[in-house]
Structure 1
């Protein structure tokens, strides 16, 4: 699976992964709405509110037991329900990430991917390195 992302799309996707890691549903919804130049979501405010509600639940002790992949599946279901457009290249990166996470979960179910994601995404040097790596991988 390959995709080519513009600089703006890479920055938006990196921000999306960061806000998912800290469970900021409002910003995650805004990033998702920015993931297409042709956004046809009929009610962006309802989509934002629904994601905020879901992320708030996932931040509770009860919601914390929901696996991150299941959270992402629920986000994608909300995207479908609200008719939010996501450009194909961005969707390819998200789906590929979910596939890799599924393999990781089968190899070591006890590994805390969200903990690692939180630790790495907020290290400025690592985030810059990730952006550079994504740029190199996604280059034409």
Structure 2
């Protein structure tokens, strides 16, 4: 499934992934509540509180072995319970993310999608969306294939050995 995202949708979804990677339950809830302009959450404070509780138990951040599937399924149950709306593009992204996460777990149970995305999510967080897009577009055309192969290997190592990420966090 493919989705064409607006700039705010892209920034909000990437922000959700960053919040999951940081283990920030409050920000996860805020991002989820931004998934629809017509939000009908029955009790926003209760939803936020329950997402924070879920995060404290299952989403402690990069390098902690977090299972993004467990986190996302838990958040979706809370969304259903509290009547939180989600626009179609976000539903597509969530469905794709759960499918890819399940596939990676079947192929290599030690692989962690969030830990693999750490360098990209952190760079995006540090330099911002527009700068990240410009940098990444330029880098893909300037750096040789060998560089990207090395980046891939380092990312794979991080995804399989995420417990070491805590010492490098910025």
Q: 2: CA distance between counterparts of 1:7 and 1:59?
A: 26
* Residue number in structure 2 paired with 1:31: 31
The runs of 5 or more residues in structure 2 that have no matched partner are: 138-170
Write out per-residue CA displacement over residues 75-121 of structure 1, whole angstroms, 9 at most, x where no aligned residue: 11111111100101111011101101111111111113232223331
RMSD of aligned alpha carbons: 2.4
* Residue number in structure 2 paired with 1:70: 70
Larger RCO (CA under 8 A, 6+ residues apart): 1
Regions of 4+ moved over 3 Å: none
Structure 1 residues 66 and 23: alpha-carbon distance in aligned structure 2, compared to 1, 3 A threshold: closer
Number of residue pairs aligned between Structure 1 and Structure 2? 129
Q: Which has the larger radius of gyration?
A: 2
Q: 2: CA distance between counterparts of 1:112 and 1:59?
A: 13
**In the TM superposition, what is the alpha-carbon distance from 1:37 to its structure 2 partner?**
0.7
The runs of 5 or more residues in structure 1 that have no matched partner are: 134-140
SS of 2:118's equivalent in the other structure is helix
1:102-117, aligned counterparts within 5 Å?
102-117=102-117
**TM-score by structure 2 length?**
0.68
Contact 1:36 1:87 in 2 (8 A): yes
